[in-house]
Structure 1
Amino acid sequence: MKYTITIPEQFPAMSVKELLEDYFLIPRKIRHFLRTKKHVLVNQQIVHWQSEIQAGDLIELIFDEEDYPEKVIPWGTSELVEVLYEDEHLIVVNKPEGMKTHGNDPTEIALLNHVSAYVQQTCYVVHRLDKETSGAILFAKNPFILPILNRLLEDKAIYRDYLALCQGHLLKKTWTMTDKIGRHRHDRRKRIVDPKHGQVAKTRITLVREMGNYSLVNCQLETGRTHQIRVHLSHHGHAIVGDPLYSHIVADRLMLHAHKLTFTHPFTLETISVHALSDSFEQTL
Structure 2
Amino acid sequence: MWQYQVSVDNYNSGKSIKEFLIDNYLPKHLRGALRQHKGLVVNGQIVATSYVLKIDDCLTMRFNVDDFYAPDSYRPNYHQAIKVIYENNDLMVLDKPAGMKMHAHSPSEDDTLLNYAAAYLKQNQTLSAQAPAQPYMVHRLDRDTSGLVLIAKNPIVVPILNRQLSKKEIQRTYYAWVKGHMSATTGIINRPIGQHPTDDRLRWVDDDCGQTAQTGWRVVEQISDRSLLKLVLSTGRMHQIRVHLASVGHPIIGDSLYGGLKASRLMLQAGQLDFIQPFSGKNLSIKLKNNQLFWE
Q: Assess if the C-alpha contact under 8 Å between 1:234 and 1:246 holds in 2.
A: yes
Structure 1 distance, partners of 2:238, 2:224, is 29
| 1:85 positional shift | 1.1
Structure 1 distance, partners of 2:193, 2:55, is 44
Please, which of 100, 113, 116 is the counterpart of residue 115 of structure 2? 113
Q: Assess if the C-alpha contact under 8 Å between 2:24 and 2:279 holds in 1.
A: no
Query: Which ranges in structure 2 are unaligned for 5 or more consecutive residues?
Result: 123-132
Structure 2 distance, partners of 1:138, 1:278, is 20
Please, which of 125, 132, 138 is the counterpart of residue 126 of structure 1? 138
Structure 2 distance, partners of 1:46, 1:81, is 41
Structure 2 distance, partners of 1:181, 1:81, is 32
Q: Which amino acid aligns with 2:86?
A: Y
Quote the residue 2:156 is aligned against.
Answer: 144
Q: Which amino acid aligns with 1:119?
A: L
Quote the residue 1:54 is aligned against.
Answer: 54
Quote the residue 2:248 is aligned against.
Answer: 236
**1:64-143 to 2 correspondence within 5 Å?**
64-68=64-68, 71-77=72-78, 79-109=80-110, 110-120=112-122, 121-143=133-155
RMSD, aligned α-carbons:
2.1
Structure 1 distance, partners of 2:66, 2:52, is 28
Q: Assess if the C-alpha contact under 8 Å between 1:170 and 1:215 holds in 2.
A: yes
| 1:277 positional shift | 5.0
Quote the residue 2:128 is aligned against.
Answer: none
| 1:161 positional shift | 0.7
Q: Which amino acid aligns with 1:75?
A: P
Structure 1 distance, partners of 2:193, 2:246, is 12
TM-score (norm 1): 0.91
- Most deviating of 145-154 and 2-11: 2-11
| 1:45 positional shift | 2.1
**1:137-216 to 2 correspondence within 5 Å?**
137-216=149-228
Q: Establish whether residue 255 from structure 1 lines up as the match of residue 257 from structure 2.
A: no
Q: Assess if the C-alpha contact under 8 Å between 1:75 and 1:116 holds in 2.
A: yes
Structure 2 distance, partners of 1:206, 1:95, is 24
**CA distance 1:243–1:190, shift in 2 (3 Å):** same
Query: Which ranges in structure 1 are unaligned for 5 or more consecutive residues?
Result: none
| 1:174 positional shift | 0.3
**CA distance 1:50–1:114, shift in 2 (3 Å):** same
Q: Deviations over 1:17-53 (max 9, x none)?
A: 333456342453x544433443211222222321222
Q: Which amino acid aligns with 2:226?
A: Y
Quote the residue 1:268 is aligned against.
Answer: 280
| 1:268 positional shift | 2.2
| 1:281 positional shift | 4.4
Q: Assess if the C-alpha contact under 8 Å between 1:102 and 1:113 holds in 2.
A: yes
- Most deviating of 40-49 and 13-22: 13-22
Q: Which amino acid aligns with 2:87?
A: E
**Residues matched between the structures, number:** 283
Q: Deviations over 1:166-212 (max 9, x none)?
A: 00100000011101111100011111011111111111100001011
Q: Assess if the C-alpha contact under 8 Å between 2:4 and 2:61 holds in 1.
A: yes
Structure 2 distance, partners of 1:230, 1:281, is 19
TM-score (norm 2): 0.88
- Most deviating of 230-239 and 71-80: 71-80
Structure 1 distance, partners of 2:51, 2:8, is 14
| 1:8 positional shift | 3.3
| 1:103 positional shift | 1.8
